[in-house]
Chain A
Amino acid sequence: LAKTTQPISMDSYEGQEVNITCSHNNIATNDYITWYQQFPSQGPRFIIQGYKTKVTNEVASLFIPADRKSSTLSLPRVSLSDTAVYYCLVGDYDQAGTALIFGKGTTLSVSS
């Protein structure tokens, strides 16, 4: 599994756009990039997944450059309820039942 590196913590204010960058220099050809969100005392929750270029859903956007050695999760106009830990995971989801291995994640704190 490719090793990922992301900031330990980030601070933001309500209404701002937040960009969390993850480095994954050893990403393999079959690997996808996936982001999960975890609120205190809850299980992680899938946010978004991509392979290359840009993916957008109702929650976030994921930007992946051509070399795929990094990715950026973009949260538009954050609110207090976006305060959570965000995990970047890289893995080959073409393998059935691939276990996700979580790193320490990025703790995002949103203030008013």
Chain B
Amino acid sequence: EPEVTQTPSHQVTQMGQEVILRCVPISNHLYFYWYRQILGQKVEFLVSFYNNEISEKSEIFDDQFSVERPDGSNFTLKIRSTKLEDSAMYFCASSDSGRGTDTGELFFGEGSRLTVL
């Protein structure tokens, strides 16, 4: 069964450092998303991406965040200068379509745990 894969599974970084989280969405999917979940809290939407540009973003997704699809398979989330409060599990997701009779189902990866010290 196709799946969304994420790397690294866990990254520890110092405050102020740049971090890149990588995702390989399901191959025929067109819509890509990043979510985060701080320990013990709800899953929060960060950004959605379609046709090589951002479709929607939340208030959390400020100037320190960026997303990119550098090639035909990877989808990355960059955090420019990490802060302690960026410590969370980051989930990548993809979907094929939200139109018509499709369910708009999002397929989530296993997550990348980011720890900022």
Contact = CB atoms under 8 A, between A and B. Distances in A.
Interface stretch (A12-20, A63-71, A73-81, A97-105): A97-105
Contacts of A103: 42
B86 interface: no
Nearest to B102: A93
A28 to B, nearest CB: 15
Interface string B81-117: 0000000010101010111101111111111010000
Name the residue among B4, B35, B43 with the largest chain A CB count within 10 angstroms.
B43
Name the residue among A32, A46, A104 with the largest chain B CB count within 10 angstroms.
A46
Prevailing SS type, chain A contact patch: loop
Nearest to A38: B43
Interface string B12-56: 000000000000000000110101000000111100101000011
Nearest to A94: B99
B108 A91 contact: no
Name the residue among A93, A99, A101, A105 with the largest chain B CB count within 10 angstroms.
A99
B98 A95 contact: yes
Contact of B48 (A34, A42, A43, A99): A99
A100 B102 contact: no
Contact of A32 (B33, B42, B104, B111): B104
Given A42-B111, A45-B108, A93 B103 contact: yes
A96 B45 CA distance: 16
A46 B50 contact: no
Contact of A101 (B45, B91, B111): B45
Contact of A97 (B4, B31, B105, B111): B31
Contacts of B105: 34, 46, 49
Nearest to A91: B104
A38 to B, nearest CB: 7
Interface of A: 32, 34, 38, 41-46, 49, 87, 91, 93-105
9 contacts: A34-B104, A44-B43, A44-B108, A49-B104, A87-B43, A94-B99, A95-B99, A102-B44, A105-B42
